[in-house]
Copies of this chain bind each other. A is one copy, B any other.
Amino acid sequence: MNLKQLAKHLNLSPTTVSRALNGYPEVGAETRRRVEEAARKVGYRPNPHAMRLATGRSHAIGHVLPSDRILMIDPHFSDFIAGAGDVYSASGFDVMLHVGGSEAEETVYKRYAQSGAVDGVVVMGPRLNDFRIALLTELELPFIVHGRVGDLEEGYAWLDIDNRGAFRQATKLLTDLGHRRIGLINGNEAMTFATHRRQGYEIALKACGLNADPAIMTSDAMTEENGYLQTKRLLLSDNKPSALLFSSMLFVSGAMRAAHELGLQIGTDVSLIAHDDGLPFLNAEGLVPSLTTVRSSIRAAGSRVAELLIEIINNPEAAQPHELWTVDLIVRGSTGPVPRT
């Protein structure tokens, strides 16, 4: 059943029915009631394509997976989108996902902008210097960044967690425990989040008069295997670190494997802290010993990012939101004093 039919059925014009349903003022209260009731009764749903064509708005949000991630669609992404999805469907937005393929990422955004296929996009996994900000600004396609682009804070909307603060805090916990040699197993530092984490780590070290040692710092794809390999390498090196900091729980799986293999007791022989995005399949608390983490739910971030983007779309004139979430340090069993040699 379409608008015209519904209108005829009500002895009204399509105009009036459309207005009644969309909350326009120029329609009588009683008439509106009648229309709404009838619409509900017959289960009328406006054809989205027609609506989109007429209004130019799509009621859809685009998520374009960065091409440098398509070979490694990491599980962090799916949890983020799970959070966002809740909000989208509650607000009647569809989500349009673009992943991989031969089409250049840039082209996808251009197509989105030109065709009005989406009302806005969320930029995931921003790099230190990300071409997407300039591109989307020029295209005038509303967007929000999950994370930040290097240290750029103005000129675009973003929601980020305080990665620097988190790793500063985590590192400080370790130095407070007496650790002086702390390894960092980081994600790819072309990504802002990873660089921020390294910076937080360095700041805390400096606060103790320590210098970061590149020999015990790595920057790699966040996989179990890399966690294993790097941990093993570091723990077997001369002048090995007494504590390790990880950018992802995925690393930790491998790290524990390495520690066990080397016969090292976690929390006594070597201390471990990881950033925990709250991935549901990898529970830091369930590890033995339970893992000390800096924790921030990536899923909650997804929800909030979606909310903010919808606000931006509905009110483009408002100030661009900037949200920096603090990260909780949760001290558990994987951290302890430096072992005496």
Contacts and interface: CB of A to CB of B under 8 A. Distances in A.
Interface of A: 45, 47-50, 52-53, 58, 60, 63, 65, 70-75, 77-79, 81-82, 85-90, 94-103, 108, 111, 114-117, 221-225, 228-229, 250, 253, 256-257, 260-261, 280-283, 286-288
9 contacts: A60-B96, A70-B85, A75-B75, A85-B98, A86-B99, A89-B108, A95-B98, A224-B281, A253-B253
Contacts of A95: 96-99
The 6 nearest A-B residue pairs measured at CB: A89-B101, A85-B99, A75-B75, A225-B286, A260-B260, A49-B52
B101 A85 contact: yes
Contact of A281 (B58, B79, B117, B222): B222
A114 B274 CA distance: 47
This protein's copies in its complex: 2
A64 to B, nearest CB: 10
A119 to B, nearest CB: 12
Nearest to A232: B288
Given A58-B49, A223-B282, A257-B256, A101 B115 contact: no
Given A49-B49, A82-B100, A228-B288, 5 more contacts: A73-B81, A86-B100, A229-B286, A257-B257, A257-B287
A115 B286 CA distance: 45
